[in-house]
Amino acid sequence: MFAYIVRRLLYAPLILIGVNLLTFALFFVVNTPDDMARMQLGAKRVTPEAIERWKVERGYDKPLLLNAGAQGLARVTDTIFFEKSLRMFAFDFGRADDGRDIATEIRTRMRPSLAVAVPTFVLGLFVTVSLALLLVFFRGTYLDFQGVVLCVAMMSISSLFYIIGGQWLVSKVWHLVPISGYGEGVDNARFLVLPVLIGVVAGIGGSARWYRTIFLEEAGKDYVRTARAKGLSELQALFRHVLKNGMIPILTGVVVVIPSLFMGSLLTESFFGIPGLGSYTIDAINAQDFPVVRAMVFIGSVFYIIGLIFTDLSYTLVDPRVKLQ
């Protein structure tokens, strides 16, 4: 067990190096800094001097991998690869195109992202698991069939429509909450209700149907039949046995996304004007702010890898049958 965790932890940096190399290749090898400068400055009226200045300002004027002109260690460190890619391992992301420090920005924007993502996640899990159990309780009946049809229909609606429709109905027609915005303190709740609600509703279709199949599989097993045979009511069997064992694949499946909650949701945050990491990413994509996109790719994979390790751990914690070696 301990050896397994150590091995996983050692594997993590290896994956991060892969991510790092991939982003480096994407951002600096596919297109040279010259191409990017030309694009950022606009195709017209672009002089070699302007390109050179743009590159110097951002530190892109160095050689990619090996600085032949420098001495000693600087041959390796005074390069784009070291300055822009390797420094990310120390969570030093440099500056965005507007001159702000990316690391500070990420730290301040994490809170709003979490304020939306955590309630959505917890509430969503609770609602979908309850619905799935309900469908399993009524399995084989007309209600179950209709529920599954509803789930498939809900899955088929783009999340864009959930957000647009929700904003229109709740904010514009009913005037219940503001359309978008973000505040501080208790007052903030009125801004968060709608995004959380929409996030939960949008996730119901896919998850509830998936959990239903998991619970159904569990409910058909021998030990549940035994439980019924010894006189447990259907409800008792569901809650004591099916729910408990069905939660194993569900929990281990969702653990992987928990660390990624920091990343926020791109769509929700940009529609509701929440100053989190999601809207930060969208703004960076629209402004073609490459340093920010690079930093978010790196951070995102760090969180994902943490999630993977958590998943492995949760298997052993929740399911005593699993032994990791």
Partner 1 sequence: MMGGQAVFLWTDLLLFGLVGCITLAGLAARRSEPMRAAWRRVGESTVGMVSITILALFLVVGLLDSVHYREYLAPGAGASPDAQRVLGTEVRSGLDAFAAPLRTRVEKTYSAPLSYRLFAKQTQEAADGSQQRDFPRLKFGGAHLQYPDEDHAGDVLGRIGLGLALAACAWGVFAGGLVQAVAWSRGVPLGAAWRAVWRGKGGLAWRAVLATLGVLCLILGPVLALATEYHVFGTDKVGQDVLFLTLKSIRTALVIGTLTTLVTLPLAVALGIMAGYLGGWVDDVIQYVYTVLNSIPGVLLIAAAVLMMQVVIDTHPHWFETSAERADARLLALCVILGMTSWTGLCRLLRGETLKLRELEYVQAARAFGVSTARILSRHILPNLMHLVLIALVMDFSGLVLAEAVLSYVGIGVDPNTVSFGTMINAARMELAREPMVWWSLIAAFIFMFVLVLAANLFADVVRDAFDPRA
Q: Given the complex with partner 1, which of 33 and 124 has the nearer CB atom?
A: 33
Of residues 51-70, those binding partner 1 (CB under 8 A): none
Of 122, 153, 169, 176, the one binding partner 1 (CB under 8 A) is 153
Find the shortest distance in angstroms from Cβ 31 to partner 1: 5
Nearest in space to 202 (alpha carbons), one of 297, 284, 127: 127
Find the shortest distance in angstroms from Cβ 184 to partner 1: 26
Tokens (6 digits) for 56: 């110097």
Q: How many Å apart are CA 159 and CA 161, to the nearest integer? A: 5
Q: Given the complex with partner 1, which of 15 and 248 has the nearer CB atom?
A: 15
Q: Given the complex with partner 1, which of 52 and 234 has the nearer CB atom?
A: 52
Q: Binding of partner 1 at residue 35 (CB under 8 A)?
A: yes
- The pair phi, psi for residue 47, each rounded to 5°, is -100, 155
CA distances for 312 relative to 14, 125, 252, 257, 307, angstroms: 18, 20, 8, 13, 9
Nearest in space to 247 (alpha carbons), one of 140, 319, 162, 157: 319
CA distances for 227 relative to 53, 215, 217, 219, angstroms: 76, 15, 15, 10
Q: Binding of partner 1 at residue 300 (CB under 8 A)?
A: yes
Tokens (6 digits) for 230: 């010894």
Of 132, 198, 237, 297, the one binding partner 1 (CB under 8 A) is 297
Q: Binding of partner 1 at residue 216 (CB under 8 A)?
A: no
> Cβ of 185: how many Cβ atoms within 10 Å?
6
Q: Given the complex with partner 1, which of 25 and 189 has the nearer CB atom?
A: 25
**Residue 73, strand partner residues:** none
Q: Given the complex with partner 1, which of 232 and 266 has the nearer CB atom?
A: 266
Question: Do residues 102 and 292 make contact, with C-beta atoms less than 8 angstroms apart?
Answer: yes
Contact residues: partner 1, CB under 8 A: 14-15, 18-19, 22-23, 26-27, 30-31, 35-36, 38-39, 43, 152-153, 155-161, 164, 167-168, 172, 260, 263, 266-267, 270, 281-282, 285-286, 288, 290, 293-294, 296-297, 300-301, 304-305, 308
